[in-house]
Structure 1
Amino acid sequence: MSEDISVRPIAHVIGGRKEPTDDYWGGTQAIIRIDDPNFTAESVQGLDEFSHLEVVFHFHLTDKTDLHFGARAARDNPEWPKVGVFGHRNMRRTNWLGVSRCKLLKVDGLDLHVEDLDAIDGTPVLDIKPWFKEMGPRGNPHQPPWVGEMLTDYFAPNQN
């Protein structure tokens, strides 16, 4: 079953990182500029009451031929087990979608000032949602040990 779904950006990331990297996103500040003319200041009314956002974006700079549908080790590290595409969170996705949770620092008109957004300058943003703690994981979340090893420095302070 195949159907096309059309989406268009509602915003773009301004500032922050210029190049995608695997680690050291901690403290990275950027602006999510809502630039779709359909949105007005009413669109963000009340958003400043939230501490965090969930942002859906498009991995716009990735090599579209670099897809891996089968199992492979994260970051090509032979010390970690091979897992399938749905066991990864990287940019090698069929629809090139990323999801990030970041701190909302302030709302300035249609500019959302954020920290720890792991998207780069110019990234098209497809959706923005406030983070509701009740929508977080329920039960007792768990993951394999290699994930913690891989992400040790992911949100460590930027080394630049």
Structure 2
Amino acid sequence: MEPIEMIPVAHVVGGRVEPTDDFWGGTRSIIRIDGDQFPTEATKGLEDFSHLEIAFSFHLTDKTDLHPGARRPRNNPDWPEVGIFGHRNMRRLNWLGVSRCRLIAVDGLDLHVEDLDAVDGTPVLDIKPWFTEFGPRGQVRQAAWVAEMLTDYFAQGADAPSR
């Protein structure tokens, strides 16, 4: 297969500086769209949406730490081994993350967001408004270990603003 070249459309500014497994709830940051590539009109209409879907690069991950086979999520011996496509961690061939976050405000090319699980400096590859109609259709199911693992994922962290 031929490689695909991608150019970031934006970068994350502020929020957390280190990627960690949990406590992303309340984390606020800005997605700063590249003004050299995009005019202010690029964000027109975004204010009508409550949530965004963000594709980004896991730029801080050690590229030698790729695990394409099966492994236990978070190396927890209580959880089953699952293949690379059976969980959402950063150890992937293309180092690609996808996250849904709440859009707080649009200020020109700055998108103020909450609960984006990407750190300061993260290259953003694409920004899409969340359409309810693109959400899951039919009954949703997932492995039992997922709910246990993600119990604190969006819990309020120490650096989250108080409300």
Same fold (TM over 0.5): yes
Work out the number of aligned pairs and report it: 159
Structure 1: 5+ residue stretches without partners: none
Distance between the aligned counterparts of 1:101 and 1:40, measured in 2? 24
Deviation digits for residues 24-43 of structure 1, max 9, x if unmatched? 00000000000151211110
Residue 65 of structure 2 is matched in structure 1 by 66
Alignment of 1:108-119 (within 5 A): 108-119=107-118
Distance between the aligned counterparts of 2:44 and 2:30, measured in 1? 17
Is the contact made by 1:9 and 1:36 (CA closer than 8 Å) also made in structure 2? no
Other structure's SS at 1:83 match: coil
Residue 102 of structure 2 is matched in structure 1 by 103
Is the contact made by 2:35 and 2:109 (CA closer than 8 Å) also made in structure 1? no
Distance between the aligned counterparts of 1:38 and 1:156, measured in 2? 35
Shift of 1:159: 2.8
Q: What is the percent sequence identity of the aligned residues? A: 70
Deviation digits for residues 105-129 of structure 1, max 9, x if unmatched? 0000100000000000000000000
Q: Which moved more, 1:109-118 or 1:33-42?
A: 33-42
The runs of at least 4 aligned residues of structure 1 exceeding 3 Å deviation read none
Alignment of 1:72-91 (within 5 A): 72-91=71-90
Distance between the aligned counterparts of 2:75 and 2:141, measured in 1? 23
Residue 17 of structure 2 is matched in structure 1 by 18
Deviation digits for residues 80-115 of structure 1, max 9, x if unmatched? 000000011011010000000000000001000000
TM-score normalised to structure 2 length:
0.96
Distance between the aligned counterparts of 1:117 and 1:144, measured in 2? 23
- Alpha-carbon RMSD across the aligned residues, in angstroms, is 0.7
